[in-house]
Structure formats: structure tokens, C-alpha cells
Amino acid sequence: MAELAKNTQSVPPQIEESVTPPWKEAWQAFCKNKLAVVGLGIVIFFIILAIIAPLIAPYGFKDQELSKRLLAPSSEHWLGTDDFGRDILSRILYGARISLWVGFFSVLGSAIFGTILGIIAGYYGKWVDAIISRIFDIMLAFPSILLAIAVVAILGPSLQNALIAIAIINIPNFGRLVRSKVLSVKQEEYILSARAVGMRDARILFSHILPNSMTPIIVQATLAIATAIIEAAALGFLGLGAQAPTPEWGKMLSDSKQYLVQAPWTLFFPGLAIMLTVLGFNLMGDGLRDVLDPKMKQ
């Protein structure tokens, strides 16, 4: 009995291991990537500027004072004025709203339609996959900016039509990405079991396949926002996007290109805003890819 009691006392107590939630583990891994954190900081900074633009902008984005046209940066106008005497800082602050709005909603539209088409093509295969894939191939055969110009030329130049055009040209990127993911996921045992017990295709697609395909969609969407902002600026620069007096960054570059030598600040600061915003989303997207992609973890 004494020996039995001794052996019982020698057994170490069971230690309960704490399980870290997946989102917390992903956030900790993301924070270890310094460049990704910098990118997130830049994105949050511009989002905050866009939200509080009416509160911090020193002037209205449409306020003109021709006697102060093309003034260099000063204490009165921190980033100078443009050819109509409008404050460049105020227009950049309001322009952040437009660029982020176009970036977010154009990518949201392309992600929704591209995901739906990609799921259908990957899950059903055969002639459905062939038709949808050929449509994607045709769209990708054209340079994205030329396709966007063609769409805007048909719909008419405006900010809303530029958003639609950007959403359309990014659909194949999401569609092909989701299709390739679905082709691998649908071969998993739990999907085959769900089909064997007679589960409806709609439930399989949106309850099982879609949630397991979200990781590449999130990463692609983050990177696509940066591309959408550049494309919106390009359309605005060509006069096919936002129209005057809307303070869209690409339109600001277009209006100021003839003053490159006389007043370089009219181009430098809008171009800097575009560069920093795109850089922020690219750095954040790379960080998300490193965290969410199992291959990158290895």
C-alpha cells in the first residue's frame, strides 16, 4: 500500500495547455512583420484622413481665389495652391475619400462576381468551366487599362462608370484564383461525403467550399485595392474618371501637368498621396499573404 501511494504521488498533475485562437495567432505573426505593420499604419492613416477631412481641411475643395493661384507651400497654404487658387492640402484630403471609395467598392464588386463565377466553374467543371474560363482568358488578353478605357468609353466618362470599369477588369483575377482553389477543395473527403449524403450543391458551395477558399480572396482583395487606386488615378488622368471640380488625385495630376516646371508642387503632392496609399496596401497585402498562406509559413 505504501508503495502504491508513493507511485500515485509521483504522477505529475495534468497541465492544461492554453490554446491560442487562430485569429490571435495570425495577428501575432502579422505584427512580427515590420513592413506589414508599417503598411497597415499608412492605410489606417489615410482612412482616418478621409473620414475627418471636413474637420481638418483648412479650406473647401472647391474654394477658388485666382489672386493666389500657383502659390508655393507656405504657412497659409501648407502644400501650395493650384492653377485656380484652390488649396492643394484640402483637395488631397477630400481626394482620399474618393480614391479609397473607388478602391474598396470596385474590389468588392469584382470579388463578389469573380468569386461566384470561380466557384461555379471549379465545382461543376466540364462545359460550364470551359465557357467561364474562356471568358476570363479573353478579358485577360487585353491590357487592363485599355479594357477599362473601352468600358468607360461605352458607359461615358464619370467616377461611377470608372468604378464599374475597374470592377469589371478585376473579375478574372478573382475568378481564376477561386476556381483553382475550388478544384482542390472539392476533392476533400468532407466534400465527397456531403455529396454522398445528398446535400444540395448550394449548401456545399456556400457552407463548405467558400469558407475554405476565403484566405486567397482576402489577400488578393487587399492587393487589388492598391491596383484599383492606380487604375482610378490613370482614368482620372486621361479625363475618363472623375470630372472637375471633383478632387480626385489622378484628375489633380492631369490638371497640373502643364505646370510641372512652374509649380512642381501641384503634381508632387497628389502623386505622393497615390504612392503612399498604394505602398501601404501592398505592404499590408504581402504581410497578410505571409500569415495566411500555409506555404509561406513553411
127-150: average pLDDT: 91
Answer whether residue 290 shows pLDDT above 90: no
Range with lowest mean pLDDT among 79-88, 95-104, 191-200, 211-220: 191-200
Answer whether residue 3 shows pLDDT above 80: no
What pLDDT sits at residue 4? Answer: 46
110-135: average pLDDT: 91
Q: Using one digit for the tens of pLDDT, what is the confidence trace for 20-78?
A: 676 777 788 888 889 999 999 999 999 999 999 999 999 999 889 888 899 999 999 99
Distance CA 271, CA 78 (A): 16
Answer whether residue 215 shows pLDDT above 90: no
Report CA 182 to chain centroid distance, whole Å: 22
CB environment 4-42: b (16+ within 10 A), e (fewer): eeeeeeeeeeeeeeeeeeeeeeeeeebeebeebeebbeb
Return the percentage of the chain with pLDDT > 90, whole number: 52
For domain 35-46+88-293, which CATH number applies: 3.30.505.50, 1.10.3720.10, 2.170.190.11, 3.40.50.10470?
1.10.3720.10
Answer whether residue 272 shows pLDDT above 60: yes
What pLDDT sits at residue 27? Answer: 81
What pLDDT sits at residue 294? Answer: 56
Name the residue among 218, 237, 231 with its Cα closest to residue 288. 218
What pLDDT sits at residue 172? Answer: 94
Q: How confident is the model at residue 103 (pLDDT cuts 50, 70, 90)?
A: very high
Is the separation of the CB atoms in 160 and 100 below 8 Å? no
Answer whether residue 295 shows pLDDT above 60: no
Range with lowest mean pLDDT among 7-16, 32-41, 93-102, 261-270: 7-16
Range with lowest mean pLDDT among 9-18, 82-91, 199-208, 242-251: 9-18
Q: Work out whether the CA dihedral 113, 224, 45, 254 comes out positive or negative.
A: negative
What pLDDT sits at residue 167? Answer: 94
Q: Using one digit for the tens of pLDDT, what is the confidence trace for 251-268?
A: 999 988 888 889 999 999
What pLDDT sits at residue 1? Answer: 47
What pLDDT sits at residue 16? Answer: 44
Q: How confident is the model at residue 185 (pLDDT cuts 50, 70, 90)?
A: confident
What pLDDT sits at residue 114? Answer: 94
Q: Per the omega criterion (within 30 degrees of 0), is the bond before 245 cis?
A: yes
Q: Using one digit for the tens of pLDDT, what is the confidence trace for 148-182?
A: 999 998 999 999 999 999 999 999 999 999 999 88
Answer whether residue 126 shows pLDDT above 90: no
> What is the crossing angle of helices 126-140 and 88-124, to 10°?
150
Higher pLDDT residue, 247 or 207? 247
